[in-house]
Chains A and B, each alone.
Chain A
Amino acid sequence: GQSLEQPSEVTAVEGAIVQINCTYQTSGFYGLSWYQQHDGGAPTFLSYNALDGLEETGRFSSFLSRSDSYGYLLLQELQMKDSASYFCAVREDAGNMLTFGGGTRLMVKP
């Protein structure tokens, strides 16, 4: 089986930097993705790492270390609108199944 672990909740202040970690245990690995979901909304794709290292997309960056089975999402210059749940997801095999973590609820305070 597979499991993904991420903190259930993180709180930070506006303008700060926050890191959301994700560790995974899977029999195979074909990439780590991150999704954002606002309350009552649909998940939306943020970033994807297939190889080790940092991927940057504006204020958001995602990091992957395959040897450590670990990744993180880094959010810079936090804004109130970044308050949402963030999910990491792993594709365990060469097929199309994506397995999601339980999500991290980020609360941004003024």
Chain B
Amino acid sequence: DAGITQSPRHKVTETGTPVTLRCHQTENHRYMYWYRQDPGHGLRLIHYSYGVKDTDKGEVSDGYSVSRSKTEDFLLTLESATSSQTSVYFCAISESAGSGANVLTFGAGSRLTVL
């Protein structure tokens, strides 16, 4: 993998509990993204970051928050997990904006199950 680590890789939790997924990169890329992948829906953007403390919402941001206090770390938090948030979560990075945003490098994914 191109220096992207996601943790945890697997997590089972109960409805109503908070969950934080971590994405760590060693590429010093400015842009980081969180996607979720569900059968029949492809990959859908949750939030993305264009720099330290700079984040913006994606297509499916309700119920999720993010933080980026360092270039290398992008955290995704589910304040109160629901069963509809059971999914595989992928972190991605891109080196630049513009056309560079069409070329994403993905982490290995975090499989979250909310019971």
Contacts and interface: CB of A to CB of B under 8 A. Distances in A.
Interface string B90-115: 10001001110111111111000000
B45 A98 contact: yes
A46 to B, nearest CB: 10
A51 to B, nearest CB: 11
Given A94-B98, A96-B94, A101 B42 contact: yes
Contacts of A89: 43, 102
B48 A43 contact: no
Contact of A96 (B1, B31, B44, B90): B31
A31 B43 contact: no
B101 A91 contact: yes
Interface residues of A, number: 25
Nearest to A31: B102
Nearest to A40: B109
A33 B41 CA distance: 17
Contacts of B45: 97-99
B45 to A, nearest CB: 6
Which interface residue of A30, A33, A43, A96 has the most chain B CB atoms within 10 A? A96
Interface in B59-80: 59
Contacts of A74: none
A83 to B, nearest CB: 18
B42 A45 contact: no
Interface of A: 30-33, 35, 41-45, 48, 50, 87, 89, 91, 94-103
> Nearest 4 A-B pairs (CB), nearest first?
A96-B101, A42-B106, A100-B42, A100-B43
14 contacts: A32-B102, A42-B109, A43-B90, A43-B104, A48-B99, A50-B99, A95-B97, A96-B31, A97-B45, A97-B48, A97-B58, A99-B59, A100-B35, A100-B44
Given A91-B101, A97-B48, A97-B59, 11 more contacts: A31-B102, A33-B103, A41-B108, A42-B108, A44-B106, A45-B104, A96-B33, A96-B94, A98-B45, A100-B44, A101-B42
